[in-house]
Structure 1
Amino acid sequence: MPVFRLPDEHIFPPPRLAEDNGLLAVGGDLSEPRLLLAYSMGIFPWYAEGDPILWWSPDPRLVLSPDELRISRSLKQTINKNLFTITLDTAFEEVIVNCAVIHRTHAGSTWITDDMMEAYIGLHRAGYAHSAEAWSGKKLAGGLYGVSLGAAFFGESMFTKISNASKVTFISLVHQLVQWNFTLIDCQMTTPHLLHLGAREIPRIQFLEMLKSALLKPSKKGKWMFENP
């Protein structure tokens, strides 16, 4: 399949036209309208520093149904120790910066470029991007961020400074998403720890059907806070 070069107009080719590795298109921008359109079509940006913007729609796709979350016995024991205070949308910019730093430190580069950070901070201010944070005292121990549309949450990245901090954060977020009747968490790329938490790979066509259904529900915009069951 050819890789499509995007015009200035906010359009994307159908995800089914992506290459075998999931690459669909190149170019365009990271404006709010284009990003929201991309996520609504099951497409996301991912590229290295110095490269043009690349847009992906992998097949298969790693997803987690919030009500299928699995928590190991050892992780339950960690949660029960109450080592962390978990918050939502309290330190979005600090979370995304830490995600970029951690990936750059371990991999030598990061897809969370300055332009990406600026774009997602913009989505956060518009009420579409959200963060979850784990605190050890007053210090940020871990966190994650992603985008929310309808009843779908698209996980972007996470980091941890203290063992299990990001896992506890993710589990706390998933429990809240269940309470809010979210039906889909898009994990994008397959990782062992997400598989252990209950995520599974599904064909892209099935993912797009799940996404279509999730987008029928209204988006939960604005600042998120934990709510009592």
Structure 2
Amino acid sequence: MAVNLTNYRHVQEKLQPFHAQLVAVSKTKPAGSIQALYDAGQRIFGENYVQEMVEKEGLLPKDIQWHFIGHLQSNKVKYIAPFVSMVHGVDSLKLLQEINKQAAKNGRVIDCLLQVHIATEETKFGLNEAELNALLENAAGLPNVRIAGLMGMASNTDDLAQVRREFRQLKALQVAVADRFFKGTDTFRELSMGMSGDFEIALEEGSTLVRIGSLLFGARNYA
């Protein structure tokens, strides 16, 4: 399916007043579709699967910023450490330590977002507030990762008021964490929340990174 450039321009117009950035979620989509969106000006692309991301990185322009937005296993960090720009879903100290280790081997500093569980579904990954604070208290001495903010996924529901509450909760948590752990710095400022169906609410509630796929690339084929 062709890339929907009309929707792409519409999303970019929505982002501008909020100074937010678009992560074009290109998982399961061919390199040609990514190239088409790249040619339209997009530079940040999000992938969920390590092998697929590595393959695409080898085929596409080197100034693409690759964001890993899926659940990352520690034993696969080494494959993306040479090039990944940001990891959105860090949900354990073990994973953060492994990213630091592999980033050091590649002479890099990798931006990371800590994933917080804000949805009602138990199937979604993420830290609760106590786990988040505990991780941050033990995250010192990792010079090759930069904890840049938080990431969360709202509940899969038609109740937009609930979605807004969950986004607002995540923004409040980001402010509290920044005040407690990152006072006097400007590193902890990213908030990755909002997808194709709820990104406008996410922007209103403080998102700086929206993860949008189907609006740009069409429905996914997992067959």
Q: TM-score, normalised by structure 1?
A: 0.30
Q: TM-score, normalised by structure 2?
A: 0.31
More strand as a share of residues: 1
More helix as a share of residues: 2
